[in-house]
Amino acid sequence: MRFITADSIFNGEDFLKGNPVLILVGEKIVDVQPESEINPLAIERFKGILTPGFVNAHCHLELSHLIGQVPRHTGLSGFAMELMRVRNGSKPDDVQQAMQAANDFMWSHGVVLCGDISNGPDSFAIKANSTLYYHTFIELIGLRPEAASPVFERGKELLRVLNEKGLAGSFAPHAPYTVSRELFTAIATENVKNNTTLSVHNQESPEETDFFRGSGKNIRALYASIGIDISWFEPAFANSFSYYFDTIKEARSLLVHNTFTGEAEIQAARHSEVWWCFCPRANLYIENAMPYLKHFTKYLHRTCLGTDSLASNNDLNVLNEANTLLQCFGELSIEHALQMLTSNGAEAFGLGHRFGRLQAGMAPGLNLIAEHNRNLTFVQKVI
């Protein structure tokens, strides 16, 4: 049995008052007691803030070997074109080594739960051997309505391979500009049936909005560059969100990026179980833009954080995503930032009973961090 305390303890929702001590057996919290109830000689004291293990809600382990290879500030279609180019020349051994290193880095920096996008099975073995809990999103792509059924069947096969390794997963439409409404509907229906989370890249760039208003030459150029004819696609929507959201509104959904999301979309989603996932450093990398967090002030209890991939970030330290938001939005409190990193992230996966809270009966990991002038630094993994 261990008795652990620190200068302060954040339990996933609030800073605890009254000098509490966490009582653990192995990795499991069995009780939280006031310090006065415990033999002072038995207590381990840490300098800093204790928190539950972190949730990185959006990652692409498969792209870990591409660190530093895609230029910054290209915009989304430029990024996608460069990404495809550099990805084609990747050696399988390099890919595996980089994924393993990325996994190890996340674990040693306090991440216990990761929502990871997979286009294929390359990362499954590493995930199966990992101490991290992964929820894998099988990402599906197909703008042609008639492709929905075969694409979905291939996705089902990949999910079966994932599940066979004992790993959890669900389906994820890549983004509105690459997925038909038919495929969105098929994915949402299946995820609702399985009571699992859907993930979609949402409003990541202004090009996306242009595309759904009928212009969008950059996204059309992206399709042309890979030899896919989309001249038949004649969208006439207010934006990408209004193209797809009604097809997924019954599903628990993780909407990722939201860099160009406005109040109208937040209002439209308020009766659905939507979680807004921000990846601010990737937004700065790709678009040199930041989501307008002020719009989300009333919905901070529905926000979480992700690093995106190493193709668009310097590292997979999800604490730095919180720091980027804390620097840009004075209204965001440390408590809110820590909620995004812990309990909110866990709830987004329907895993609030396992992760994100320092609560008796749970084994959510235990991190020690420090805070100075609204900047959070990772000190160590305690558990």
Q: Where along the sequence are the contacts to Zn ion (CB under 5 A)? A: 308
Considering the complex, state which of residue 31 and residue 75 has its C-beta at the smaller distance from Zn ion: 75
Q: Closest approach of Cβ 364 to Zn ion, in Å?
A: 25
Going by C-alpha positions, the residue among 364, 368, 333 that lies closest to residue 49 is 368
Going by C-alpha positions, the residue among 232, 217, 236, 281 that lies closest to residue 56 is 281
Considering the complex, state which of residue 287 and residue 308 has its C-beta at the smaller distance from Zn ion: 308
Q: Closest approach of Cβ 256 to Zn ion, in Å?
A: 6
- Tell me the two tokens of residue 297: 């002030």
Residues 6 or more apart from 33 whose CB is under 8 A from it?
20, 21, 23
Q: Closest approach of Cβ 262 to Zn ion, in Å?
A: 21
Count CB-CB contacts under 10 A for residue 117: 23
Considering the complex, state which of residue 60 and residue 357 has its C-beta at the smaller distance from Zn ion: 60
Q: Closest approach of Cβ 86 to Zn ion, in Å?
A: 16
Q: Is residue 20 within 8 Å of residue 32, measured between CB atoms?
A: yes
Considering the complex, state which of residue 130 and residue 199 has its C-beta at the smaller distance from Zn ion: 199
Q: Closest approach of Cβ 39 to Zn ion, in Å?
A: 49
Q: Is residue 204 within 8 Å of residue 283, measured between CB atoms?
A: yes
State the Cα–Cα distance between residues 314 and 276, nearest whole angstrom.
Answer: 22
Q: Closest approach of Cβ 101 to Zn ion, in Å?
A: 19
Considering the complex, state which of residue 51 and residue 309 has its C-beta at the smaller distance from Zn ion: 309
Q: Is residue 334 within 8 Å of residue 342, measured between CB atoms?
A: no
Considering the complex, state which of residue 72 and residue 298 has its C-beta at the smaller distance from Zn ion: 72
Q: Closest approach of Cβ 69 to Zn ion, in Å?
A: 16
State the Cα–Cα distance between residues 201 and 171, nearest whole angstrom.
Answer: 13
Considering the complex, state which of residue 11 and residue 64 has its C-beta at the smaller distance from Zn ion: 64
Q: Which residues lie across from 73 on neighbouring strands? A: none
State the Cα–Cα distance between residues 334 and 318, nearest whole angstrom.
Answer: 14
Considering the complex, state which of residue 21 and residue 286 has its C-beta at the smaller distance from Zn ion: 286
State the Cα–Cα distance between residues 373 and 327, nearest whole angstrom.
Answer: 10
Q: Nearest to Zn ion by Cβ — which residue?
A: 308
Q: Closest approach of Cβ 308 to Zn ion, in Å?
A: 5
Burial class (CB in 10 A: 0-12, 13-18, 19+), 133: buried
- Alpha-carbon separation of residue 73 from 76, 77, 98, 172, 216 (angstroms): 9, 11, 24, 26, 18
Q: Closest approach of Cβ 92 to Zn ion, in Å?
A: 22
Considering the complex, state which of residue 265 and residue 308 has its C-beta at the smaller distance from Zn ion: 308
Give the burial string for 315-338 (b: 16+ CB within 10 Å, else e): ebbbbbbbbbbbeebeebeeebbb
